[in-house]
Amino acid sequence: MDKLPEEEIKRLLTELPGWEYDGKSIKKIFSAKNYPAAMGFVTAIGGICQRKNHHPDFILMKFREIEVSFSTHSAGGITEKDIEIAKELENLPL
């Protein structure tokens, strides 16, 4: 899968509220209502990513905030696969 041009990444992210591009990856901080909900969200993300064989970086911030970051290391940047998974995460309940 080929790396997307920066202009295309920025255009696609306009459809994904809260997602940002830092030049290397796309990322978003999700806020859950409490710690158990945050852990359930991380587990749900893990299931999606395992099925797609594409795994993000996670940072658990505070007790209910999760930063999720995607890039395709083999392509050296952001690919359509990263955007597709970001779209799927937007449909997960918090």
Boundaries of every domain in the chain: 6-89
Q: Which CATH superfamily is domain 6-89 in?
A: Transcriptional coactivator/pterin dehydratase (3.30.1360.20)
- φ and ψ of 15, to 5 deg: -90, 0
Residue 90, Cβ density class (10 Å: 0-12 exposed, 13-18 middle, ≥19 buried): middle
Residue 36, Cβ density class (10 Å: 0-12 exposed, 13-18 middle, ≥19 buried): exposed
Q: Which SS3 state, helix, strand or coil, does residue 93 take? A: coil
Supply the pTM of this predicted model: 0.92
In tens, the pLDDT along 39-72 reads 999 999 999 999 999 988 989 888 899 999 999 9
Would you say residue 1 has pLDDT above 90? no
How much is the pLDDT for 64? 92
Would you say residue 16 has pLDDT above 90? yes
- By DSSP bridging, strand 57-61 and strand 20-21 are unpaired
